[in-house]
Structure 1
Amino acid sequence: MRKSLALLPLLSLTVAGLVACNNSNDVAGGPGSITTNGIALVDGKPASYATVALRKVDFRAEQPVEENALVVADSYADEKGNFKVEIPAGGKYRLTVLHDGVAYSKELSRDEFAVVGESTAPDTVNLSATAVMAGVVDIPEGDSSVWVGIVGTDVLVKTDAAGWFALSALPANDSLVLYFVSENFAQNLGSQSVYVTPRESLMKDYRSVIPGDTSSKDTAQKDTAAPLPQVLALMGDGSPAAYATVALRAAGAMVDSYVVQNAMAESDLRADKQGRFDMEWPTKGDFRLTVVKDGFAFSKVYSAKELAGLDTVRLSATASISSKVTLRSVDTAVWVGVYGLDLLVKTNNVGAYVLPNVPANDELGIYFVTADSANGLYAEWNAFAEPNSTEFLSPVKVLQDFEDGASGWYVNTDSLKKGTTITPAVYAKDGVEYDSTRKSNVFHAKYKLANDGYAWALVGTSFVHYMNLAAIDSVVFYAKGDGNIRLSLENYIDPSKNLKAATEWIKLSKDWTRISVNPAELCVGSATDESCFTTWSTIKGYVKQFHIFVQDGTEFYIDDVTLYGALF
């Protein structure tokens, strides 16, 4: 019977409810019941009233009747996910358990699953998200369509006149065999192996491939006229990485569209069951080859010449990277990706993010793209992770080290016109000089403040954008001199609109001193009665200027101004 896809979940649940109420023989017993030998779970929770079906491993539809459901229920699990299935002795059978967009489907023999009345405990089947597949096949001359099914299941769909078909719920993590039958169901047109991962969206072009049954050849990709050299993918223990995802991207490739993608790479092709795969390598350029299977991955950048000589890759456990990027004040989030991978995530509103399941043992180039309509490249940095770990990485932004002058930095004084001076007078670059103690370039200025409580002189910079510095860890720089200095983060628009969060005055000496400022120490605000918390909270999301003020002296030196926990 032909079923509407939109009605399937409702229909399954309705039938489950009717059977549960009216036919106890078709519904599994409760916990501990001797009539159950399986438990269906989704993320550790019961797959209540899941569809359960058992088919011979070579089962195919016997007549041309469209069936959109993966399987038609033999029985249903109960509300706690318990079900009963009796696998006959001898031979292999495909057990399929289906429930609201998730499924379990494996080939089993009787001795591979708990037996009612004999086993001491039921077997657990963990359902995972299904995949979606679209494909196209050749239509035989004289026909207007082709039937497409999956061996060992009930699904059977018909292509359109151009040969296109869709399978809306493929069970993941097991090798499946598609079979193709002529429109009148009189001629077997062959078969193809396919392997999908949870939530994968797959497109296959089978044109000019179907004639001749290829199921026994375990084809993970199209045959070629002349065999290409094969690469062997191995798991960490040396076993084949059967049906592993294989993807090749330009080393500097970014994603084409900005939607969340938690998968490391979408499959260009699959390895076969021996872990081997063929690929026609590019002739020039640098590329990232990625091979992924079940939480293990291999990913490395090669030149085209190096790829041509590749014969074996070994997968290792993946890792996760947790870090942060500094947002502009106008941003609520930015996109985060890895060059050469399809992975793409989004930060939260203070720039924190997690890259799940990234390849380990290789330096990854991470890029950040604004989440506005421009989708412009915002920042970049590199990260490295050990296998089977979660790396909590805090970025470091060198705001100014004065090695290439002092681009964007300036000096300034009050406008009282009472005699305050600073040298250099305008551009910080004019105060850059080599320091033998630091063994690097530093900034040096001489100043004289007018005899007035409002007199001031400073060196600093203005950010291109208003910045959200709420997530920074600290500000660190080196300084020496004969007076006092004060760090001030500001949002200065005009004298009437002037917010700031500054430190108390810090005494300098003739020796270089490392000064580290935690945001909690930015206690001096525009108002005299503000608390430290209020001062920083008022401005942290809208910082425009970074200033270092001087007082009670004649000269000072600054070097290596760094923001810890910042990246922009």
Structure 2
Amino acid sequence: MKRLLASLSCVLLFACSSDKNLAGASTVETENACIINVVNINSKPAANVVARIRPLWYVEGVSSNSAVTQNNIQDATLEVAADSLGNIVMDSINFDKGYIEIIDGNSGVFQAIASSDLKKNKLTTMQMEELGSVTGKAALPEGTDYAWVQIYGTDKIVKTNKDGEFTLDSLPPASYQIRAILPDEQATIGEASITISAGEKSDIQALAKPTLENEQLEQWAHVRTIPLDSTISDWMKPIAETTVVFVRLNETNFDFSEAMDNGNDIRFTDQSGNRLAFKRAFWNSTTPDTPQSAEFQIRIDGSSSVENLEMYWGKTAALDASASNDIWASLPDSLVKAIHSITLIDFENQKLESAFDYGDGPREWYFHPQDTNVTTTPSSENIQDAFESSKERGGYVFHWKSTSKTRGKWSMIGSRVSRVPSSLEGIDSIAFYAKGKGELGFAVEVLNEPTGKTKYVDYLDSTWKRFCFTPSDFVEGDGEFGNMGWDFVKPRVTTFTIWIVDESEMWIDDVILYGVNRDNFN
């Protein structure tokens, strides 16, 4: 994300004072407005100075070619000019908390400002003081020539030298939060809290390495409340004491331009601000001609009383807070299987149909040869004969033979599992049990235009074997016979097919997808 785009949806109006006879007040109408009286170092009114008010999360932007650019976050900076008596009158502000900055010549003031403070119905005085400066050093990664150093709540940004050294000057006395980021805005390499004294030059030595524990979520531009119930489908209820819930984003419910290109800035807390462990299953915001989408898996511990999730986004150069598979640690296997896998088909009802209800009923599977050159036993007209009871598998399996007059011909079972294309980018693996002889294949397809598929190919053994493969095991896309590869197929899957080729025979059972659940098909 090269620039944050503000989504400041609410304007807070402050009814701060109804007294028109405040000392030093201007002739400006002050009914239902707040007044800040700014005075110079000599305690005289700071006439006509300009105050710039920015949210806590504001930092000046950096372009992709490492040149300083104006951060054009809509409505992020409010500019208000003082009158001849140094009075600044405000009747609205576009954010809850921020900073007010006033610089005039060699003096200035920088203070935190909040809507709650402005509502105290008081006349506030701000004293200008002599400006100060600070020097420091950021540890540059090997091969990096420089970094940018930014100050939150200001438009100040400086470029380090090749040794990571920098100077920030013309700073009003105050406490500041600063950070150093790489030129592409994808990573923060140092941060610090600094205090500037009037007329003095400080040295903070080296910036500290950023950590997730020291993050301040007030520095994120956007937050959304997500009721926990909205993340839990009816088929998942009743939920376990400790479980994992899913948040899925797409172009209709999320503006991906407001987040980092890789989704590193996403965070989740409960309604009380307690951090929640989560895993970013996938994030797709930049692939050309592919719908933007993402999925997050959030762990909810049984000891907590979570009612709402708070999702934060909108911070450049954020650390990656996505956890590993630890979010599933210690959960019962039965729970993980129930909410994080799908049995596509298990043949137990001796019907060629899906093993679960998609919400509007199970999906039918089909069985047919490629063309008249292929003969199957049983035939597609006698499909019921293909269901066999297996002691080894402890239930019913599907069994057929395939013969062909010419080489390279196949017979198959398959199903259009989704009426509309579905994103299955979060798939961890696909598994099934099979035995027999000959070559087998498994394809994931898109039958909506533009069509294409990706495929996995292996060979059958005479004894039962568990075949398990991940997306990296699919044949690389080469365009031959519609093989476009996994990256082409994964955001809009419609169909699964399983086939055997030439003189082959296969028994198959329990086709399972891991890393997704039935909501991925809705």
TM range (shorter): 0.3 to 0.5
TM-score, length basis structure 2: 0.41
Structure with bigger RCO (C-alpha 8 Å, 6+ apart): 2
- TM-score computed with the length of structure 1 as normaliser: 0.38
Report the structure number with the largest CA radius of gyration. 1
